[in-house]
Structure 1
């Protein structure tokens, strides 16, 4: 394990891009707590999402991660986080917890990524879920890669209209996440 400041690591990318592989490696090297929704959704519900329960689960995992950061333990949120708003909110929450933030954006060629997803379903179905070509197309269309500002750790912009803080936006986005702003 390395000695690094308390850090919130966020993996960003589509299924099959290598997020969980990186998250597992980071956890091994740093001793950070790794929180991966797929490892909870599949055993609990047998699918990747069911009636919005993934958002509820992610909110509780973020809350758990926040509490761990406040207690001095680094955390890896192995989420994907396809929208800039999700990423800005999580980065802001890391700051509220007094932790550093590291964004790990993973990208691989689309053909390779889809082949990895298919292979993972065949090799370890208990860790994933089947993804059709239509699912993959929908995921690709929904994912907004991090901007140059995000990757350069530019100052966090103002939260979206209607939300006083990023923590308030996060509590709206992830319904089970209590409002965590401590300012």
Structure 2
């Protein structure tokens, strides 16, 4: 059975470093939106284009697992709903889904972000202290049940299924 690995964590946690290692260890396709956004649009969010790009990458990931290729989605996935949707989609495509949570304490996060911005400013974007604090309040840390694969959340109220929810969250997802 193929596996879709989903990295989970805040900026500066080390998700991409971990995703690169996983890609080598599992001979897997690694899809990292951060590596596409700045070259394509010159910024990390670009007025909703990130969600569009993530939708295309998610569709590509599902095609790859159907073909028997392991995939690492290096998305961050701050919300439980995003993670539940991707898990459901991966399993619907015949793959297992493994969350790879990479926690980071605030001081380590600040240090890593400052280092990244000083060494590769053309490959990253500015992040203020206010951004980091706000993002921590938005991040939903995965619990033990979610990490071991036993959670089976239903889609949020008003959604007929995870596929419909995912198509709304990632507008280019097909």
- Give yes or no for contact 1:118–1:130 (8 Å, CA) kept in 2: no
Given the alignment, which residue of 154, 157, 163 partners 2:159?
Answer: 163
Do structure 1's residue 70 and structure 2's residue 39 form an aligned pair? no
Tell me which residue corresponds to 1:125: 121
Higher RCO (Cα < 8 Å, 6 or more apart): 2
Note the residue ranges of structure 1 that are not aligned, 5 or more in a row: 179-183
Given that 2:65 and 2:94 are in contact with CA atoms closer than 8 Å, whether structure 1 keeps it comes out as yes
| Length-normalised TM-score, structure 2 | 0.96
Q: Distance in 2 between matches of 1:174 and 1:141?
A: 22
Q: Is the 8 A contact 1:35 1:75 kept in 2?
A: yes
| SS at 2:107 equivalent | helix
Within 5 Å, give how 1:88-167 maps onto structure 2.
88-167=84-163
Per the normalisation by structure 1, the TM-score is: 0.92
Aligned residues: 174
Report the Cα distance in structure 1 between the residues aligned to 2:54 and 2:130, rounded to whole angstroms.
24
Q: Is the 8 A contact 1:65 1:75 kept in 2?
A: yes
The residue aligned with 1:51 is 47
> Over aligned residue pairs, what C-alpha RMSD do you find?
1.0
SS of the counterpart of 1:9?
Answer: strand
